[in-house]
Structures are given as C-alpha cells and as structure tokens.
Amino acid sequence: MDLKNNIYVVSLTHWDREWRFPFEKTRMLLVEMMDNVLELLDKDPDYNCFHLDGQTILLEDYCEVRPENADKISQYVKAGRLLIGPWYLLPEENQMSGESLVRNFLWGERIGRKYGGNMKVGYSPTSWGQVSQMPQIMKGFDVDSIIFYRGISPDQSPDNFYTWEGPDGSSILGIRLGDFARVGFFHLVDRAVVFNRYWGDDSHQWNQGGKPFRLSGSGSATPYEFHQPPNGWHPENIEQSLETLENEDLGEWMTPWALSCECDDCTGPFVFVPKIIKEANTLISNGKEIKQGSLPEFVAMAREHLNENELTVLRGEMRSSQKAGKWTDIYAEIQSSRIPTKYINRQMECLLQRTAEPLGTMAWMLGREYPIFSLDRANRLLLQNHAHDSIGGCGRDAVDNDVRYRFGQIEIIAQGITSAAALEIAGRIDTGDVASNEVLLVVFNNLPRKSNHIAQTEIDFDRESNIKGFKVCEMDGTELVVQTLSCSNAEAIFNHPYEVPCRMSSDRWELFFEANDVPAMGYKVFRVIPMEGEYRHEGTMLVAPTSMANEYLEVQVNPNGTVDVASKETARNSTIEHLEKKPSSLPRGHKKRHQILL
C-alpha cells in the first residue's frame, strides 16, 4: 500500500456542552467520557495524547463531580498527554461583543493555568465564521496559529496553509482542514476498521448486540444506551479506508505530514487508534507512515517546512458561504434562529459589562468592597451561554430554557451590583443644602466621554403632601425642560437592615428630562423641587395649529392628510402620504404603510 502523505492523526473530542441534551444530562456523559480518558492514559502508554476540543470548561464541569481527579488531570496536562484550551468554551463568535470574546480567552487562560497550562494553538472548530480581529485577539494570548473549517474555502486558500492578518497588522498561521474537517480519520478509518461501516452508514439492527436499553415513555428523542457497546476488528478494511481518506479528504499537503483529525460530537477516546496505526504501518510500502500526536507538535513541524512569507495572505472576517466539503459551510440560518434569546444576550452583555462593572468599580474606588464573587458568577454564566449551540439557538427547547434561566440569573446579579454601587456613590453626596421636601436625581454616565441625553425616570411624592407640580433643575437652580408621562398611585417600599420593610403611599410621576454635561465615568445630580399648586411644563414644538418645529425639522400637516417635512439643515423637502386603502390580507389592527415622496 502506497500513501501520498505521511498522516498525522490528532485524537480529540468535540464536546457540545448542551445540544442534543440539556447541560446536566450532557455532564453525566462528560463524566463517563473523562473517566475513560484518564483510565486510557493510565493503562496505554501507546495512546500518545488526547485533546479536549480546545476548551477548559470541560475540566471545570468534570471536577465539580470528580474533584479527586484534579491532580491527575494536571499531571497529564503538564506531560503533554492531555491538551486543553486556549478557549474557556467554544463560542459562536458572531453573536457576542468583542469584550465577551476576549473574556472567553481570559477565562480559558485562568482555568488552564490551574491545571498546568493551555496549548497555544487556536483550535476553533465550531463558530459559524470567524471575526476579523481573531488574529489580534489570539496574538494577545500568545496563540500564533489557528485551525478552523467553517468560513474558509479552497478558493480563498488553495493550499492547506495560509497567513491570516488582522486589522491591526497582527498575523497568525492558518491551517485549513480537509473536506471532512475534524472527523475524517474517525468516519473514514476508525469506523471501517472497527465497526465495518463506511461513511454515511449509521444503521443498527437488534442482532448487532450491545444490550441497548431505553426507558419506556421517555420521549421519541430519547436514544437507546448501550450497556455493552458492540465493537469488532476488521483489519481487511485498512487499505481501502486509508485510500478513501486520502482521496476524499486529505488531498495533497505542502508539508511532509498531512493533518487528519479523529473525533465526532461528544465521543470519547477511540481506544483502537494505536492498534489501527500499528497495523497500517506494516502495510505501507513506500516509506510513508502514520502516527498519533498533538496539534502543537503538528504546527511546530509545519513551521519547520514552510516559508511563511510565501503563503497566501488573507484579511478580514472568515465567513465564506461556499460548501466545499462535508462540514465546511457556515449554516447561515444560525444567525436568525431563536432571535429573542439573541436579543436578551445583547441586553445582558450591556447590563453586566457596561453598567454593573463600571459602577461597581466606581464604588470600589470610593472604598466599597469590589463584588468579585458576584461578577465572577455572572460572567461565568454569560460565557456559558455563549457556547456555539447555546447562543446559536440550534439545540433543543430544553437547552434554550436553560440559556434563558442563566440570563435571568445574570440580570438579578447585575441589577444587584448596580443598585448597591449606585447606593454607595449616591450616599456620599452632600445634601446639606437640599430642602427636606426636595428629591435628588443622580444620573450616572458609564461611558468614557461626556454625555448629553434625555433621561427617563420616576419620582415618588408622599400622597399626603398633595404635590401637583414640580420642576427639575441643575443644582444651581437652572430649570430644565421636562416632559411628564404619567402620574399613578404607588406603594413606595423602604428596606431597612434592622427594621421591617416600611411603606409610603405615594404619587409616582414618570417623566423625561434633559441631563446634559454628565462627566465621563461619573455622575451628575439634579434637583426636583415641589411647587405650590399645579405647575405646567409648557415647552412645545407647536408653532401653529397644524405645524411643529424644532432646531432640525419643520413639519406641516396638510388638509388632505399628507405631511410635509422640511430639513432646516439641508433645506430638503419631502411629503409623507397615506396610501389609498386597498383590500389586504393583513390581520386587523395592522399598521398602515406610508410612502415618502421625495
């Protein structure tokens, strides 16, 4: 048997933290898988090494159940037989903020150091496309190579090696996997030799054994589990399977060795790999060989044989939609699945990263204890929701339920941090010159620049005071423009650490007001002054019964129902005209469309 390439087999798992099953069910499978990994590394010195899918969260999840195995894990990580990181977990990069991506690596580094250190290869097998700044982010964590397959095509990089350059000029070595991506050796060789099955055959019959079992009534999606998983040994398939691997997956490589990954979704280590490799090497007649090793070793070998200055240079995000192999397309529908969950993710990122943390830091600078436990808890929950199938929305409904629950916990924690920090800051404001019946409004600005905006707030007045009007002012008494929205009855609750919660029957006013010149990363105080009798905020944009204007626009409502809009800045006019009413299949209550005639 002749081979075109020396074949370098990298054994790993692709671990979906939650996808086919919710997290807690998947963790039960993880514990079994990790127990088998450690047992295999203990017993078989010929099994070179195993990769935990570029993640460190697997160790966190596993050691919550098996804390007694943490030292053994560290021993194998330090020995290079168990490869972890550099990610905390594998995200869908296009659905989150850049801050979240950086923190994913920060948490990966944090956990990796605890267990002996991360590998410095950017294995990224799951994101549906890569963001353009990934070279810059990875270089910041001393990761100078990347391996992925979704979002890059042979048209972009005809060879398996290329240079990927980020917007800031950072560059890393890129490795494009073959058409079968991370599963080639497993599907085309392992399954043929052990199970006598070739690519695409996923059938099972009762007479194939294994003692399969499932609980009756547990649901149509509940699989049978094997008590004694059936295996076999078919060395007669080795030559054909390797020929298929080279012809349908690997092709020609620029280096002496071709990379072939061996895994599938949530599979454990394939104990037969050393035996398959040993048997295959006895059949090769042209001096080539097969061996099992690690991704860092393969990258080091490649660099010895490549002139990186001559490689194709790629720039920008990697989101090629071309399907050039079995799993190389980006599944564009992921971007629009479970949209409400994606909205909540963005809201929670902003609440945690742009509100709770800045205010918590401001309060810490004033002497309050930094809420490290609560922030760590919230950030861990947020990152867990960024697992590619979780935020991608392609898991089962039970998975999305878990994701929503975590977001709910994040909101509770972030709101608690925000409230406590704001209380600490507001409590330090000197109120000596403020009348007892006045209310102070404190507007915080967590941006790195001065803020001018319209603030929305609510004010409670004791109902017995019978306040009918008020004005909002700067601290020097300058009155501000106010728009009241509503006034309703409310029970204001006062929480006392040494007393029962007390109440005040109140009139709750909701309003908008101008909050200008709020300093960067700071706050500004405004006074609410009760007035005798009713007090009207008479600011208006009306300039005539049928027209209104501000500093930017003039609007005229015409007798025929059209509206003329004129820009004061550009002197450009337009007319908004109602379309004639026509029969429509739209549901009752659907808003009419408008046409803008320029």
Q: CB within 8 A of 564, min separation 6: which ones?
A: 555, 556, 558, 573, 574, 575
Q: Say how far apart CA 11 and CA 539 lie, in whole Å.
A: 71
- Contact between 393 and 341 (Cβ < 8 Å): yes
Q: Say how far apart CA 87 and CA 107 lie, in whole Å.
A: 8
pLDDT of 542 reads 78
What letter would DSSP give residue 43?
H
Which of 385, 377, 387 is closest to 357 using CA atoms? 377
Q: Say how far apart CA 199 and CA 241 lie, in whole Å.
A: 10
pLDDT of 535 reads 85
Phi, psi of 205 (to 5 degrees): -120, 155
Q: Say how far apart CA 515 and CA 161 lie, in whole Å.
A: 55
pLDDT of 592 reads 33
Q: Whose structure tokens read 């979002």?
A: 151
Q: What is the pLDDT of residues 141-152, one digit of tens each?
A: 999 999 999 999
Q: Say how far apart CA 110 and CA 86 lie, in whole Å.
A: 10
Q: Say how far apart CA 195 and CA 188 lie, in whole Å.
A: 11
Q: Say how far apart CA 349 and CA 382 lie, in whole Å.
A: 8
Burial of 294 (0-12, 13-18, 19+ CB in 10 A): buried
357-365 and 397-427 helices, crossing angle to 10°: 30
Parallel, antiparallel or unpaired: strands 469-473 and 225-226: unpaired
pLDDT of 552 reads 86
Residue spans of alpha helices (H) in 84-226? 98-114, 134-139, 184-185, 191-195
Q: Say how far apart CA 519 and CA 522 lie, in whole Å.
A: 5
Which of 536, 438, 532 is closest to 484 using CA atoms? 536
- Three-state DSSP string of 582-596: CCCCCCCCCCCCEEE
pLDDT of 551 reads 84
What count of residues does the chain have? 598
Q: What is the pLDDT of residues 22-61, one digit of tens each?
A: 999 999 999 999 999 999 999 999 999 999 999 999 999 9
One DSSP character per residue, 218-281 reads: S-TTPPPEESS------GGGHHHHHHHHIIIII---SSSEEEEEE--BT----TTHHHHHHHHH
Query: At residue 3, what is the residue type?
Result: L
Give me the sign of the Cα torsion angle 464, 465, 470, 473. negative
Q: Which two tokens stand for residue 287?
A: 């001096």
pLDDT of 573 reads 66
pLDDT of 593 reads 33
Q: Say how far apart CA 546 and CA 75 lie, in whole Å.
A: 80
pLDDT of 139 reads 96
Query: At residue 416, what is the residue type?
Result: G
- Residues lower than pLDDT 70 in the chain: 326-327, 571-598
